[in-house]
Amino acid sequence: MKKIVTMLLLFVAVLTISACSDGKSSPDSRSEKETQGQKSKSGNSDGDEGNSDGEAQNKNKEYDIDLSKHLKVGDFIQFGTYEQDNSTDNGPERIEWQVLDIAYGKIFVMSRYALDSQPFNKDDSVYAWDKCSIRDWLNNDFYDKAFSAKEKDLIQLTELTTKQKNEKITTEDKVFLLSNLEVYHYLRYLSIEGESSSFCHPTAFSVEQGVKTSAETENRCDWFIRNAYAPDDARFVNAKRGTVDYDAKVTRDNIGIRPAMWLSYENISLKDAEVGDTVFFGTYNQGATVLGSDGLNHYLIEPIAWTVLDIQDGQKMLITKSGIVGYNYGNSPWENSHLRKCLNSYFYDEAFSEEDKSKIIETTLANPDNDVYGTDGGNDTTDKVFVLSVPEVEKYFGGSRDEDNPLRACYSPTELGTNGAGNLCSWFTRTPGKDQQTVAFIDYYEIGSKAGHINMEGTEGRISGISAGRPVIWVQP
């Protein structure tokens, strides 16, 4: 089957999206002397109607677009402006966004606060995402009001797939709401000031617009997602639990709106990367397909995303952000495993150019025994590509073996939800399990769907569908 090689070109000029210094100041914090602006439903506003002179002046102000070269998932940036403190005299405030993902040439962000109150649809005749009024409002009213021309140039047109009952709706949007699977995938382990990012606080303006809060929810609010299954079954994230709920009316207008979007982003270079940064090195088929001119789906060859785990004497240790290799492990120990052979031959040849290969360092590895079952870990090996041992997982990701650890959680790059775990996957270590027919691995769930447990008993090494290879390399930039 032919492979279509897609190399995303970085065409971003000097970009900057200013990272928030501490992320602790809320736009709904205001002094007693602040005056209350006129209540004007922004979704019904046309142009600058209802805006004060101060807001109009602020609207036209050009802000420096400061894109930090060391953005990490979970960081906050400022981008665009919108009325938030409900005092129109001082103009709209800068919008805070949390970084949910970093991809090749772009970042995925969602607003920190609920910025407005809008119904999913203005009447109960429509509930599909491609036809609902909230989609139109986000991509027109909000888009035009919140962003300057310079900022609009950085907002990516994104192809979305939205599940509706047994169907999938495909749209192209610049600004959108998260889906239920994206809530699970992106927000499960992200936090804002100690609480899950799935919990949301509204701005003073959005409360004035109608967003409902209560002492029972600690002044948090519900917020819409883009899945709706009937006029009386729009989905939203519950303010009390931070989980997806259902049975909201599409016409309900007291639920918060948290816009999301992909922005152009000039990725950090491998040479400049620090521990924890996302870098891109090599290309590989990671499960995505594209429809070819022959009417058939062809695999895409895409840049591989890595996280910098360690830096020693200028050399950098990288681990793939996702489990991207579907080879089975074979029997332990590592020196005789099928996975080792595949990583250092087929994967190495397919993923890296000759220039890339010149930067990859052969590494001598100690292969420790299983310290619970006493299974022999085998001889030392010399490898260009490998997977972590259990002691290395503990060193670089921390935490006890049997605890829920978001840092150890690993995602499959394939379509969200394909394995029933919200896109989470387990991944092999090179430490043997209870015997030489098994291998210790990082589990994607335990009771309660907790992720990141180190399973020392192990899984059968012949299995490839449950556990994934998560390649590791040392490179000299």
Read out DSSP for 44-65? Answer: G--TTTT--HHHHHHHTPPPP-
Question: What whole-number distance in Å separates Cα of residue 146 and Cα of residue 258?
Answer: 13
The neighbour count for residue 48, using CB atoms within 10 Å, is: 12
Residue 229: per-residue pLDDT = 92
* Number of neighbours of residue 448 by Cβ within 10 angstroms: 6
Encoded tokens for 429: 């270590």
pLDDT in single tens digits along all 477 residues of the chain: 433 333 333 333 333 334 333 333 444 433 333 322 323 333 333 334 334 444 444 444 567 777 777 899 999 999 999 999 999 999 999 999 999 999 999 999 999 999 999 999 999 999 999 999 999 999 999 999 999 999 999 999 999 989 888 888 999 999 999 999 889 888 877 899 989 999 999 999 999 999 999 888 899 999 999 999 999 999 999 999 999 999 999 999 999 999 999 999 999 999 999 999 999 999 998 766 677 778 787 778 889 999 999 999 999 999 998 888 777 888 889 999 999 999 999 999 999 999 999 999 999 999 999 999 999 999 999 999 999 999 999 999 988 888 878 788 777 765 433 333 346 678 899 999 999 999 999 887 643 445 788 999 998 866 555 557 899 999 999
Residue 327: per-residue pLDDT: 79
pLDDT of residue 436: 93
Q: Which two tokens stand for residue 363?
A: 């590494």
Report pLDDT for 48.
Answer: 40
Nearest CA-CA partner of 173 in 183, 160, 186:
160
**Model pLDDT, residue 46:** 38
CA distance 280 to 106: 12
Measured distance CA(418)–CA(431) in Å, rounded: 27
Radius of gyration of the chain (CA): 24
Residue 39's CB: how many other CB atoms inside 10 A?
A: 11
C-alpha of 18 from chain center: 19
What's the pTM value of the predicted model, to 2 decimals? 0.79
Q: Which two tokens stand for residue 118?
A: 């809008």
Q: Cα–Cα–Cα angle for 99, 406, 454, nearest 5°?
A: 155
Which amino acid is located at 258 in the chain?
R
